């Protein structure tokens, strides 16, 4: 009846809380990111990253507005120390949270203190919580100014995020490829083209067993902003 990947018609087996999720094959799932269907999808196969994907989650007008508001925020370029050498992080970042006590650091060099949420971002966080069924206390922004900005392979597995967190990602602006692979050397990688307004949920298991990247691209491309909404566990009381 419906020959598009991701299907618009669900059987009762496809219905899962929260929201409606269609279980699809990797072929269907990764085809979704080529803009062929609008439908939330959960991957179901052996050895695929535990992802749920809502292509076109935000209506275009809302995504446009969020992009404009996001670009207006203060963005910073931190320095990262790799093998004892300092160099700038290859993108701009910003960090918001429920408490300014929510410090966040990675690679033993980059350090952030959460700023209070701007209203539009707190609203987006709530919208994402409802749809994904998880609660998030902090939001990390990445601004990739052009195809030369990137995010190297990593997992978001800092202790502040708690055991095996669920992390939700909202993309705005230029389309960029988000790539995941198992931690072992030479592992096959899966790539999803994340578009303006897409929502992707990295379910528990993703940070523990997989790493992800946003590689540079030689294709001319404008700015892209990605918001990741994350849990935060206070390590000290």
Ligand X SMILES: O=C(O)CCC(=O)C(=O)O
* Residue number with CB closer to Fe ion (30 or 178): 178
How many chain residues touch Fe ion (CB under 5 A)? 1
By the rule CB under 5 A, 156 interacts with Fe ion: yes
Q: Which is nearer to Fe ion, 14 or 156 (CB)?
A: 156
Task: Print burial letters for 1-15: b (CB count within 10 Å at least 16), e (below 16).
Answer: eeeebbbeeeeeeee
Residue nearest to ligand X (CB): 226
Phi, psi of 57 (to 5 degrees): -55, -45
Give the shortest CB-156-to-Fe ion separation in angstroms: 4
What Å distances lie between residue 127 and 27, 189, 203, CA to CA?
28, 30, 17
Whose Cβ is closer to ligand X: residue 41's or residue 140's?
140
Positions in 139-158 near ligand X (CB under 6 A):
140, 142, 151, 156
132 binds ligand X (CB under 6 A): no
Q: How many CB atoms lie under 10 A from the CB of residue 106?
A: 17
Buried b (16+ CB within 10 A) or exposed e, 178-213: bbbbeeeeeeebbebbbbbbbbbbbbeebbeebbbb
> Under the criterion CB under 6 A, does residue 21 sit at the interface with ligand X?
no
DSSP summary character for residue 15:
B
Q: What is the DSSP letter of 17?
A: S
178 contacts ligand X (rule: CB under 6 A): yes
Task: Verify binding: residue 226, ligand X, rule CB under 6 A.
Answer: yes
Residues of this chain that interact with Fe ion (CB under 5 A) are: 156
Residues of this chain that interact with ligand X (CB under 6 A) are: 140, 142, 151, 156, 169, 178, 194, 212, 214, 226, 228
């Amino acid at each position: 009846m419906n020959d598009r990947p991701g299907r618009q018609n669900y059987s009762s087996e496809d219905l899962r809380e929260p929201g409606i999720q269609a279980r699809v094959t990797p072929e269907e799932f990764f085809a979704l990111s080529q803009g062929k269907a609008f439908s939330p999808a959960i991957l179901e196969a052996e050895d695929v990253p535990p992802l749920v994907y809502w292509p076109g989650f935000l209506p275009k007008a809302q995504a446009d507005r969020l992009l404009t508001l996001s670009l207006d925020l203060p963005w910073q370029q931190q320095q990262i120390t790799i093998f004892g050498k300092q160099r700038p992080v290859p993108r701009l970042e910003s960090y918001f949270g429920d408490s300014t006590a929510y410090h966040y650091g990675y690679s033993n060099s980059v350090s952030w203190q959460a700023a209070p949420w701007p209203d539009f971002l707190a609203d987006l966080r709530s919208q994402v919580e409802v749809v994904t069924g998880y609660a998030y206390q902090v939001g990390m922004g990445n601004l990739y100014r052009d195809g030369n900005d990137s995010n190297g392979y990593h997992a978001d597995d800092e202790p502040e995020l708690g055991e095996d967190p669920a992390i939700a990602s909202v993309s705005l602006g230029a389309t960029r490829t988000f790539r995941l692979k198992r931690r072992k050397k030479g592992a096959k990688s899966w790539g999803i083209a994340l578009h303006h307004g897409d929502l992707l949920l990295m379910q528990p298991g993703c940070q523990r067993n997989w790493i992800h990247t946003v590689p540079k691209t030689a294709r001319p491309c404008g700015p892209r902003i990605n918001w990741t909404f994350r849990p935060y566990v206070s390590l000290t009381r």
